[in-house]
Amino acid sequence: MNGFSPATHLILAILGPLVGAAVAWGMAPRGIHAVRQSALVTALVTLGIVGLLVLRGLADPVLTGGGAFAVSSVPWLTDGPFAVRLSLGLDGLSLWMFGLSALLTLTAVLVSWKAIQDKPAAFYMLLLVLEAAMLGVFAARDVILFYVCFEFTLVPLFFLIGIWGHDDRRRAAVKFFLYTLAGSVLSFVGLVTIVIWNASHSGVLTFDIAELTAGVRAHPLPMDAAGGWLQWLVFLALLAGFAVKVPIVPFHTWLPLAHVEAPTGGSVDLAGVLLKLGIYGFLRFSLPMLPEASAVAAPWLFALGAVGIVYGALVALVQTDLKRLVAYSSVSHMGYIVMGLFALEPAAVEGASLQLVNHGLSAAGLFALVGMLYERFHTRSIASLGGVAARAPWLTVMFVLFTFSSIGLPGLNGFTGEFLILCGAFQRAWTGVSPAWQATYLTLAAAAVGGLVLGAWYMLWAVERVFFGAPRRPPQDGDGHPAEHAVAVAAGPHHHDPVAHGPAHHGPAPAADLEWHEWAALAPLALFALWIGLQPGAFLGPSAAAVRGATAQAAAAFTAGMQPPTTAPHTVTANLTGGRQR
């Protein structure tokens, strides 16, 4: 029975990529083909294991009811009262992101298929280690394990950017590493403070997230002058790490740089999963453990989210580098998620949690496509590209599809999350805030809707310039050096380092249109984009209870802070799912 329990299944899923990483490393002497095939097999097998686990989770009423699934816990660092355990498990908050991490790793392997010719063994090893870290962070039920994985995602990505990136990769890697590290170190301080506070009140030194949550609910961190505003300080400490990670404007400037310099595979994981860790942190720690402080901060974060939407979109509007444009679009779209989360309304928080997955799919797809364009034309400059549709029709179809997903066209996934987020945001603005805040909230919510117009503007502008019109330059078959050089000069100082060459132009020239590995990378993303767009309920349902549970305390605190406490806690209403019409 225990032979293949969900818990074992989960551990297998995390260990799989680590084994695969070692195998990929060991394949180094046997050439690039063996390396990338082994990486592909690992990614596929892991995705299979994760996929089955997700299906098992969906079938488990405990998970859909808001509880944890596939829980295991073994002592790790135990010494006296100090008991760090390797606690793993999945719940509604983490289930989809866990699955997405495995899916996007497959995408990352496939988009690197030809792009990475230099030191492939190290590249794929790091990619698979990164996968293990991403899976670990979503499966962790222990603060220390969470934090270790949280930070450990930085290391592979640091090297991926620093070694396989483009011309300015060193600066980008260091900035990315230090900026996010600086933030998350403060988060660690905050997390440890929670642990110590809990220990000082319950007498048990525990690092278990569930126990901590229960503990601080029983003994909330003080939110007044007498208590030294401890809850508020801890919230700010957590915020420092999570806000950089998301990133919330104005802590976003590492992101465009990191994306532009990162290899495509790294960008896919960065945009698809790593940005979500910040939001996941809010959902896992800030909102449930520090509800009062979250409630106080909610209006400000709601506002920062709305500002980020408009600001990111405006900056995206004037970008000349396609990858930078997509990176700023990520800043804008993460603004919706922040806004939805801190609207603290049922529709908005469920929409935000769905939008984590949605943005992961569409941003990963767009970054993958930008990488494919780069492999073909050796430039990301929007001005130098043009008329790609005539040469690569299917690539264009996929780009337009992911553009539609990104700009929230109904029927695709982007719409579902943003609609619910905005619905909840308006609801909060309309009925849920004190009159003093109402005008501000309404303006912010309307501005967020305006972001839909701006989002369409920059994306469709880019599509028009890159894909439509007359072809602007001849195809760079074979050696792309002249073009590459021109771009490099335009982009900044050219490094004369032995490893300082863009990886793309060393590979064999790709076919004009999508190749099999590119199809394989994009098709699953496109299918999920369509599926979520048509049936978001199937994806919302399993996580609804957990997301509600995580935010309920903060929402109640917010309501209490906004008006005299009148409304009673909600009771269950009739479920209309099977409603019949006349």
Residue window 468-497: x/- pattern of binding to another protein, with contact defined by CB under 8 A:
xxx---------------------------
Span from 47-55, 309-317, 359-367, 511-519 in contact with another protein (CB under 8 A):
309-317
What angle separates helix 322-343 from helix 346-377, to the nearest 10 degrees?
Answer: 170
- Min CB(542)–another protein separation in Å: 12
Return d(Cα 449, Cα 415) in angstroms, integer.
12
Tokens of 100: 């997405």
Number of residues that bind another protein (CB under 8 A): 87
Return d(Cα 435, Cα 431) in angstroms, integer.
9
Phi, psi of 89 (to 5 degrees): 170, 165
- Min CB(195)–another protein separation in Å: 10
Select 34 or 446, whichever has its Cβ closest to another protein. 446
Are the CB atoms for 381 and 488 separated by under 8 Å?
Answer: no
- Min CB(410)–another protein separation in Å: 4
- Min CB(273)–another protein separation in Å: 23
Select 112 or 416, whichever has its Cβ closest to another protein. 416
Alpha carbon separation from 411 to 415, 457, 533, 541 (Å, rounded):
7, 19, 5, 18
Quick check: 65 binds another protein (CB under 8 A)?
A: no
Tokens of 562: 């906004």
**Which residues within the stretch 248-287 sit at the binding site for another protein (CB under 8 A)?**
250, 252-254
Interface residue with another protein among 123, 197, 235, 342 (CB under 8 A) is: 197
Return d(Cα 361, Cα 524) in angstroms, integer.
9
3-class secondary-structure state, position 494: coil
- Min CB(37)–another protein separation in Å: 31
Quick check: 568 binds another protein (CB under 8 A)?
A: yes
Find all residues with CB under 8 Å of 107, minimum gap 6, and list them.
268, 272, 364, 368, 521, 522, 524, 525
The residue among 485, 260, 494, 477 whose CA lies nearest residue 371 is 260
**Which residues within the stretch 68-127 sit at the binding site for another protein (CB under 8 A)?**
none
Find all residues with CB under 8 Å of 272, minimum gap 6, and list them.
100, 104, 107, 360, 361, 363, 364
Span from 111-119, 140-148, 314-322, 334-342 in contact with another protein (CB under 8 A):
314-322
- Min CB(376)–another protein separation in Å: 18
- Min CB(576)–another protein separation in Å: 5
Interface residue with another protein among 48, 430, 479, 511 (CB under 8 A) is: 430
- Min CB(276)–another protein separation in Å: 21
Which H helix or E strand runs over 148? helix 143-152
Find all residues with CB under 8 Å of 292, minimum gap 6, and list them.
220, 223, 231, 554, 557
3-class secondary-structure state, position 87: strand
The residue among 132, 431, 421 whose CA lies nearest residue 279 is 421
Q: How far apart are the first and last CA of the chain?
A: 50
Quick check: 544 binds another protein (CB under 8 A)?
A: yes
Residue window 329-368: x/- pattern of binding to another protein, with contact defined by CB under 8 A:
----------------xxx--x------------------
- Min CB(460)–another protein separation in Å: 5
Select 56 or 171, whichever has its Cβ closest to another protein. 171
Phi, psi of 85 (to 5 degrees): -115, 150
- Min CB(233)–another protein separation in Å: 9
Quick check: 572 binds another protein (CB under 8 A)?
A: yes
Quick check: 58 binds another protein (CB under 8 A)?
A: no
Span from 33-41, 205-213, 462-470, 522-530 in contact with another protein (CB under 8 A):
462-470
Interface residue with another protein among 113, 150, 311, 441 (CB under 8 A) is: 311
Select 20 or 215, whichever has its Cβ closest to another protein. 215
Q: Is 318 exposed, middle or buried (0-12, 13-18, 19+ CB in 10 A)?
A: exposed
Interface residue with another protein among 11, 45, 155, 409 (CB under 8 A) is: 409
Quick check: 576 binds another protein (CB under 8 A)?
A: yes
Quick check: 556 binds another protein (CB under 8 A)?
A: no
Find all residues with CB under 8 Å of 469, minimum gap 6, and list them.
386, 387
- Min CB(557)–another protein separation in Å: 17
Span from 35-43, 188-196, 203-211, 520-528 in contact with another protein (CB under 8 A):
188-196
Select 250 or 482, whichever has its Cβ closest to another protein. 250
3-class secondary-structure state, position 55: helix
Residue whose entry in the numeric block shows the structure tokens 């600001």:
311
The residue among 25, 4, 226, 264 whose CA lies nearest residue 124 is 25
Interface residue with another protein among 182, 499, 511, 523 (CB under 8 A) is: 182
- Min CB(101)–another protein separation in Å: 24
Interface residue with another protein among 422, 487, 504, 529 (CB under 8 A) is: 422
